[in-house]
Amino acid sequence: MPPATGPGLTLLPLNREQAILAFNRRVLAQARRPDVPLLERLRYITIVSSNLDEFFEVRYADYLEAAAAIGSASDVDLQALSADAHALIDEQYVLFNEQVMPALAAEGIVVLNHAERNDAQRQWVARFFERQVMPLLVPVGLDPAHPFPLVANKSLNFIVRLGGRDAFGRESSIAIVKVPRVLPRVIRLPDAVCTPGQQGFVLLSSVIRAHLADLFPGREVETFSQFRVTRDSDLEVDEDDVTNLRQALRSGLTTRHFGQAVRLEVVRSCPEELSAFLLQQFALPAAALYRVNGPVNLVRLNQLIDQTVADRLRFPVYEPAWPLLRLPRGQSIFERLRRGDVLLHHPFESFEPVVQFLREAVHDPDVLAIKQTIYRTGTQSVLMDLLIEAARRGKEVMVVVELKARFDEEANINWAERLEAVGAQVVYGIVGLKTHGKLLLVTRREGARLRRYAHLSTGNYNPRTARLYTDIGYLTADEPLAADADAVFHQLASLTAMKPPRHLLTAPFVLHGRMLRHLSQVADAARAGRPARVVVKCNALTDPGLIDGLVAAAQAGASIDLVVRGACMLRPGVPGFTDRIRVRSIVGRFLEHTRVIYFRWGEDDAHEALYLSSADWMSRNMFRRIEVAWPVRDAALRQRVIDECLVPYLHDTCEAWLLRTDGHYDPVMAGGAPVSAQQALMRRFGG
């Protein structure tokens, strides 16, 4: 596509929503790889389904709303996006049916439909249905007194067309069966009814399908289909018109499952008349219908993975290493930090030192105050339990709980209420801004002075995801940096205007401007013939200003490498604009989550800067969130970040994809033996 060349324009950006779908294609490609263990290949398929659910619930719903506001001019884009989504889902089911499930069956792991079950299995399923399923099902026959029921977001349902007359002599032909979420979606058959050496499973949808007639005695089940509707699930709360954000969000949670429908899934064999009826009920166009060749919710196949006994079909267990040389076990972490900063690279290194840091603070009588931000921590959290214990012990505990962390709102509200119940000071950040920065600050009395210790992170305070996501944690007793962190907490609580921090960069105040300033420095260096280099590793790149800054630096002659896991709207390879910019994406065993930004604009270390950050290069992160970035000033630690978080990923030939100018990604082809950054780091840390 020819670039736009008007004032202030660099080139036509790539479509963000299609970039998100492209990322999911890269995830799906993992399920095709023969070197990935079979159960992990199935897990990648479920991950794509989960990602697509969120895409429709949030991104696609917003896109529809924006398209409606713009009018028919956006119809072409909407049709292209819909076609792309349909194609991706079709690819997913082909891979599921034709490769992964047959391969699992060859390993003795089988999902049996009614026709494939033997007499003993059918008898067992019939008893299971009668005792465990049927008492929880309430079929609803539709008539003027029984309107179409309210169907929850992403719930499993059946639509049934019945023959004959009902108990009152009427010809009501359509019934709806809603399936409660409490029922397991995957049921393992007892070994006694399976072939020796076989692990047999049945899907709940298959169990109900085989016994639909039992729900309608005296009627003929003429035809039927599973169906599932996806709804707009963004919580709409007018923050300028509420007096208590927590109460408003809790109220909104009760209606989230019944937002505007955006997608309807049915099985491929669903009769046209039933799918048309459902589309009409949900006020959806034909393009919103997705006919799938299999279960309408592949996410629930995670239950099969969890129940299967076959370790050899999973990734080998990886146990993150405790950094013994840098943080000896049994030694006070406070004492160690007084000698210098400690950097933790998760999941290759354990998250447990972070937990131990907080645990030591809770039990240390000299610790007076603990402050922490919470974005995603989960329904069970040792860190939150420790904060509650600290408050019970009489320490000053302040927690900034982000109530609007999408799909974690309820868990965070519950934690906020538990913390308040024991006397902790809980604040909810700033109206209109999400608090996304990750900060933990401990204030300790040491002799006649107070000393502060901090932990800053690119990822969440969640020990479970810390085993699955790559992130950097940074423990420090550096007083200027800790003082800056304290100032952030002070501002979030008091809403008072503060002097800009000396070292910590915060959004929405200075982070975006500082990144642009560094890009300008790099561009000036390139024009002067000095070394000029930018390397950015982040999860998404969509901010127009930062894209313009990168393009300007590239046009000036700077060499730029971007490692962007997900959506990237910058179009590389456009002659005269972005031909010096390379964009790659890494999709491997772990979810790449680390945000690292490196600039060089001269010959020596005085003209170099490296930042770690909680923020992606997106407008929402730069202007609508509380974010933090901090410089790594210690030369040894800075080199370590470069050696572990940047260099391996720029040389990956196993799990890397290169973005083309047209928006498509090509896998990086290895000239020799393939090199995996993640596997190299696992070997380096020896977990």
Query: 328 preceded by cis ω (within 30°)?
Result: no
Give Cα 563 to chain centroid, integer Å: 17
Lookup result for tokens 């503060």: 498
Phi-psi region of 246 (alpha: psi -120 to 50; beta: other; left: phi over 0): alpha
Rounded Cα distance between 470 and 81, Å, is 30
Query: 147 preceded by cis ω (within 30°)?
Result: no
Task: Single out the catalytic residue among 436, 455, 512, 518.
Answer: 436
Helix (H) or strand (E) holding 28: helix 16-30
Residue ranges at the known binding site: 51, 376, 406, 469, 565, 593
User: With the C-alpha atoms ordered 582, 587, 588, 591, is the resulting torsion angle positive or negative?
Assistant: positive
H, E, C per residue of 216-267: CCCCEEEEEEEEEEEECCCCCCCHHHCCCHHHHHHHHHCCHHHCCEEEEEEE
Dihedrals phi, psi of 102, to nearest 5 degrees: -60, -35
C-alpha closest to that of 401 among 385, 389, 390, 417: 417
Rounded Cα distance between 564 and 665, Å, is 12
Query: Would you call 436 a catalytic residue per the annotation?
Result: yes
3-class DSSP state for residue 506? strand
3-class DSSP state for residue 179? coil
Dihedrals phi, psi of 431, to nearest 5 degrees: -60, 130
Contact yes or no for 572/553 (Cβ under 8 A): no
Phi-psi region of 283 (alpha: psi -120 to 50; beta: other; left: phi over 0): left
User: With the C-alpha atoms ordered 150, 154, 157, 159, is the resulting torsion angle positive or negative?
Assistant: positive
C-alpha closest to that of 524 among 575, 498, 481, 558: 558
Residue ranges at the known binding site for Mg(2+): 376, 406
Q: How many of the other CB atoms lie within 10 Å of CB of 532?
A: 26
Contact yes or no for 553/532 (Cβ under 8 A): yes
Residue ranges at the known binding site for ATP: 51, 469, 565, 593
3-class DSSP state for residue 201? strand
Helix 61-70 vs helix 75-95: crossing angle, to nearest 10: 160
Helix (H) or strand (E) holding 273: helix 272-281
Report the C-alpha dihedral over residues 41, 43, 47, 53, rounded to 10 degrees. Answer: 110
Helix 511-527 vs helix 544-556: crossing angle, to nearest 10: 10
Beta bridge partners of 665: 659
Rounded Cα distance between 548 and 326, Å, is 41
Catalytic residue positions, numbered? 436
